[in-house]
Amino acid sequence: MSDTSPTTPAAGPEPFRVSDGDLDDLASTLAKTMAEVKQHGVILDRLGSEPDPAPSADQQADGASAAGAADPKQTVGPASVFILALGGEAYAVELAALSAWVNHLFLPVYGREISTTRPWCAQWHEHPEAVARLHALWLAWQQFTDTEAGLSGPSTWHRDHLDQTLVHLRAPDGPFAACTTSTTRPNHRVLATPAPKQSGASA
């Protein structure tokens, strides 16, 4: 004889309740996670804009007779992530990512006051030396603030990279020597650099 008694439906899970204190912690953690995701997006965009790695010597030799003869203008892209090795759209994308880091982290934290002994230029992106030094600093920041760098990573970045960059970048005779020395009197001028020596010129 089968059991004809009605079955009691299984009770659903009790609603999950979070205290106000825990809710604040979750909101803070979520904000930090979103900031990290945004930074990762910038890095992924930069990596996506980089050209494919240069082929090996064997690959170049195998394809030289076919591809080289068909398209003699074809060139291999830069093998470096350094901004001065980039060009065109890749340079523009990299400069935009660098500008975001300079404007939202570097300047608010390490900008310091502008003076004749510590000049700065709001148009720093038009100074090639400043772009090169800030980009190198940013690359190092990405490396030494990563969890794989260990607990001493940020300290190493400050000592070996930031301090040296600030000494040269904001020196009275540095790339901004002819630029802003006062926030009330903005100025921008790129100093002339030595002309390259002409080949075959007499000594």
CB of 136 closer than 8 Å to CB of 142: no
* Mean pLDDT on 114-143: 93
Mean of the per-residue pLDDT values of the chain: 75
Considering only residues 81 and 17, tell me which one the structure prediction assigns the higher pLDDT: 81
Position 175 in a domain? yes
Position 35 in a domain? no
Position 12 in a domain? no
> Which pLDDT score is estimated for 95?
93
Split at pLDDT 50, 70, 90, the class of 110 is very high
For the whole prediction, is pTM greater than 0.85? no
Kindly tell me the burial class for residue 146, based on how many C-beta atoms sit within 10 Å of its own C-beta (0-12, 13-18, 19 or more): exposed
Position 16 in a domain? no
Position 23 in a domain? no
Position 201 in a domain? no
Q: Which phi and psi (to 5°) does residue 186 adopt?
A: -65, 140
Instruction: Output the six-digit token pair for 192.
Output: 């002339």
Position 100 in a domain? yes
- Residue-wise pLDDT tens digits, 5-49: 555 555 555 555 556 666 566 666 666 666 665 665 655 565 555
Split at pLDDT 50, 70, 90, the class of 132 is very high
User: Is residue 91 pLDDT above 80, yes or no?
Assistant: yes
Share of the chain above pLDDT 90, in %: 37
- Residue-wise pLDDT tens digits, 137-196: 999 999 999 999 999 999 999 999 999 999 999 999 999 988 877 767 777 888 777 777
Position 154 in a domain? yes
User: Residue 132 belongs to what domain range?
Assistant: 90-191
The number of domains in the chain is 1
Please report which residue ranges of 50-127 form alpha helices under DSSP H. Answer: 57-63, 69-70, 88-101, 107-110
User: Is residue 83 pLDDT above 90, yes or no?
Assistant: no
> Which pLDDT score is estimated for 86?
84
> Which pLDDT score is estimated for 171?
94
